[in-house]
């Protein structure tokens, strides 16, 4: 029920935005034509433009977005509203300019389109922030509210207090807790209505519509009793999943073959369409670099390396790729030949092994460019978790238990952690923990546009290297 209410609220909110967009576009056309007399409506294909605005509204619907009510922080809701509005404005702009350029329409000016997009962006941000609340207050009040109780222990109820505080938004009225244990001084903010043995009487007295079952107690009798009473009184049952307490992270439900399983993370790149899209992006970037940029870089790097540190131009080393498969990573050599026993040492600030041109290459990430060859060979991606030395993989996995989950995807030339400033030497445990956190966030929330954002951010860092680049 709650899932359906959430989905319905999201669809209604978006439908209102689409309707508002059509009205705003029509009003601005009227103002431009009748008031300012700068648009001739007889020369414009109005049906095509309104159809384009409508289709842009449909395309910009984002069902995968986390509900804005997940946080009590007002600032979070505004950030969500801005991000959603940015996406809606981008889709609308692409649609309108595509119509203008494809039809070679000179009757509608670029200035008008730009003004419309600006006013749309400014006005839709507060709408995206508040429209869900307004609609929820309208459709989830009165007879549409659901009187709900928790059934279980006080400890389990405390886990859901924050959740319960947000449910009135969806018309879920949490009345209190019915428990099976003796509670002396309760630490709950909600009242304790009574004991389990009085369940049927309490539900009739308080006219309960829904029971949130907090635990099964590993007892068939307990569960059967709850199901029997709820069925007799025509009451819904919502079953709470307590396992997240043990795993200390969100569990993702997976329905497969008539059974429900739980996973510890979302993996968008397990979708073959997403993998293909990412591979196309990799090839579109890596192929031109390898064909037109890398040969000139090799020539220049060869001259500079031979002048400062005679020896091979490329540096090859084994790294762990997707699913732990080993491959040879390629770099421009930036260090003097040294004792092989020091090969596993991390580079430090002022490291004597790095020659002068090598310092420049490392600071600007030029030494990483040969890895576009690894991308073309399918061993790496342009964007992904950075591959570390084999011995460092072993060390870091001992320090951070979930470290090797980075290997769910291909390693990258750049990554989200690097864009957030976590690159260079790992001097303390907190640094590798933060890298892993951002790598896992990338794996869970991958999208084509996230890759594009990381690439743009990396380009800026190549021009303006962070202090940790050495």
Separation between Cα atoms, residue 128 and residue 462, nearest integer Å? 36
Do 214 and 230 have their domain in common? yes
More reliable by pLDDT, 313 or 352:
313
CB 402 within 8 A of CB 440: yes
Do 104 and 192 have their domain in common? no
Do 86 and 152 have their domain in common? no
Task: Please report the DSSP string for 302-353 in residue order.
Answer: HHHHHHHS-S-SEEEEEEE-GGG-EEEEEEE--B----GGGTTSPP-TT-TT
- What's the pLDDT score for residue 249? 67
Of 108, 139, 170, the residue at which a domain comes to its end is 139
Do 292 and 414 have their domain in common? yes
Do 89 and 201 have their domain in common? no
- Residue 290 reports pLDDT greater than 90: yes
Give the H or E element holding residue 192. Answer: strand 192-195
Question: Quick check: is 256 in a domain?
Answer: no
- Residue 341 reports pLDDT greater than 70: no
> If you average pLDDT over each of 75-84, 135-144, 371-380, 453-462, which comes out highest?
371-380
Question: Quick check: is 65 in a domain?
Answer: yes
Dihedral of the alpha carbons of 120, 126, 127, 133, in degrees to the nearest 10: 170
Question: Quick check: is 251 in a domain?
Answer: no
Short-list 167, 178, 175, 172, CA closest to 146: 172
Question: Quick check: is 265 in a domain?
Answer: no
- Residue 421 reports pLDDT greater than 50: yes
Model-level pTM? 0.62
- What's the pLDDT score for residue 36? 61
Do 305 and 436 have their domain in common? yes
Give 348's pLDDT tier (boundaries 50, 70, 90): low
Do 343 and 371 have their domain in common? yes
- Residue 120 reports pLDDT greater than 90: yes
- What's the pLDDT score for residue 73? 46
Residues near 444 by beta carbon (within 8 Å), at least 6 away in sequence: 265, 266, 267, 268
Give the H or E element holding residue 413. Answer: strand 412-414
Residue 253: phi, psi to the nearest 5? -70, 140
- Residue 21 reports pLDDT greater than 90: yes
Do 293 and 399 have their domain in common? yes
Do 6 and 95 have their domain in common? yes
Mean pLDDT confidence for 404-429:
84
Cα dist from 173 to 142, 176, 372, 404, whole Å: 11, 9, 56, 43
* Cβ neighbours around 277 below 10 Å, total: 15
Mean pLDDT confidence for 132-152:
82
Least confident of 31-40, 99-108, 368-377, 420-429: 31-40
More reliable by pLDDT, 62 or 376:
376
Do 167 and 53 have their domain in common? no
Give 66's pLDDT tier (boundaries 50, 70, 90): very low
Mean pLDDT, the chain, integer? 84
Of 139, 162, 196, the residue at which a domain comes to its end is 139
Do 119 and 168 have their domain in common? no
Mean pLDDT confidence for 247-260:
75
Of the chain, the percentage scoring pLDDT greater than 90 comes to 30
pLDDT digit string, tens, across residues 173-214: 899 999 988 777 777 888 889 889 999 999 999 999 899 999
CB 68 within 8 A of CB 116: no
- What's the pLDDT score for residue 69? 44
User: Which class for 296: exposed (0-12), middle (13-18), buried (19 or more C-beta within 10 A)?
Assistant: exposed
Question: Quick check: is 292 in a domain?
Answer: yes
More reliable by pLDDT, 389 or 349:
389
- What's the pLDDT score for residue 338? 64
Q: 38 is in which domain, residue-wise?
A: 2-139
Residues near 82 by beta carbon (within 8 Å), at least 6 away in sequence: 125
Question: Quick check: is 306 in a domain?
Answer: yes
- What's the pLDDT score for residue 386? 92
Do 33 and 181 have their domain in common? no
Residue 345: phi, psi to the nearest 5? -75, 140
Question: Quick check: is 298 in a domain?
Answer: yes
Question: Quick check: is 297 in a domain?
Answer: yes
Number of domains in the chain: 3
Mean pLDDT confidence for 244-253:
73
């Amino acid at each position: 029920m709650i899932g359906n209410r959430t989905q319905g609220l999201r669809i209604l909110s978006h439908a209102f935005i689409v309707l508002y967009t059509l009205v705003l576009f029509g009003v601005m056309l009227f103002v431009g034509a009748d008031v300012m007399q700068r648009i001739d409506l007889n020369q414009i294909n109005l049906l095509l433009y309104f159809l384009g605005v409508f289709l842009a509204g449909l395309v910009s619907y984002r069902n995968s977005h986390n509900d804005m009510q997940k946080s009590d922080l007002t600032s979070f809701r505004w950030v969500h509203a801005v991000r959603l509005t940015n996406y809606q404005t981008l889709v609308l702009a692409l649609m309108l300019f595509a119509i203008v350029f494809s039809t070679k329409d000179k009757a509608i000016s670029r200035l008008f389109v730009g003004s419309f997009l600006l006013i749309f962006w400014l006005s839709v941000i507060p709408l995206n922030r508040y429209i869900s609340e307004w609609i929820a207050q309208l459709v989830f009040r009165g007879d549409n509210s659901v009187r709900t109780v928790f059934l279980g222990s006080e400890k389990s109820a405390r886990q859901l207090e924050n959740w319960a505080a947000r449910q009135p938004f969806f018309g879920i009225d949490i009345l209190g807790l019915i428990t099976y244990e003796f509670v002396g001084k309760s630490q709950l903010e909600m009242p304790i209505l009574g004991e389990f043995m009085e369940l049927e009487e309490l539900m009739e007295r308080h006219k309960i519509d829904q029971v949130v079952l907090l635990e099964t107690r590993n007892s068939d009798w307990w569960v059967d009793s709850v199901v029997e009473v709820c069925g007799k009184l025509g009451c819904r049952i919502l079953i709470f999943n307590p396992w997240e307490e043990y795993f200390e992270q969100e569990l993702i439900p997976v329905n497969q073959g008539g059974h429900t399983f739980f996973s510890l993370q979302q993996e968008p790149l397990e979708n073959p369409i997403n993998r293909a899209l990412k591979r196309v992006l990799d090839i579109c970037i890596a192929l031109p670099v390898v064909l037109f940029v890398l040969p000139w870089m090799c020539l220049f790097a060869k001259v500079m390396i031979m002048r400062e540190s005679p020896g091979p131009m490329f540096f090859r080393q084994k790294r762990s790729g997707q699913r732990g498969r080993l491959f040879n990573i390629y770099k421009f050599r930036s260090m003097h030949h040294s004792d092989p026993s020091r090969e596993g040492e991390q580079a430090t600030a002022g490291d004597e092994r790095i020659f002068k041109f090598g310092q420049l290459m490392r600071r600007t990430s030029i030494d990483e460019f040969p890895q576009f060859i690894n991308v073309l060979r399918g061993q790496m991606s342009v964007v992904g978790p950075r591959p570390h030395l084999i011995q460092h993989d072993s060390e870091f996995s001992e320090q951070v238990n979930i470290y090797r989950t980075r290997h769910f995807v291909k390693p990258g030339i750049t990554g989200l952690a690097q864009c957030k400033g976590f690159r260079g030497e790992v001097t303390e445990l907190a640094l590798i923990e933060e890298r892993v956190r951002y790598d896992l966030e990338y794996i869970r929330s991958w999208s084509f546009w996230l890759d594009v954002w990381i690439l743009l951010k990396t380009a800026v860092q190549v021009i303006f290297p962070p202090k940790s680049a050495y």
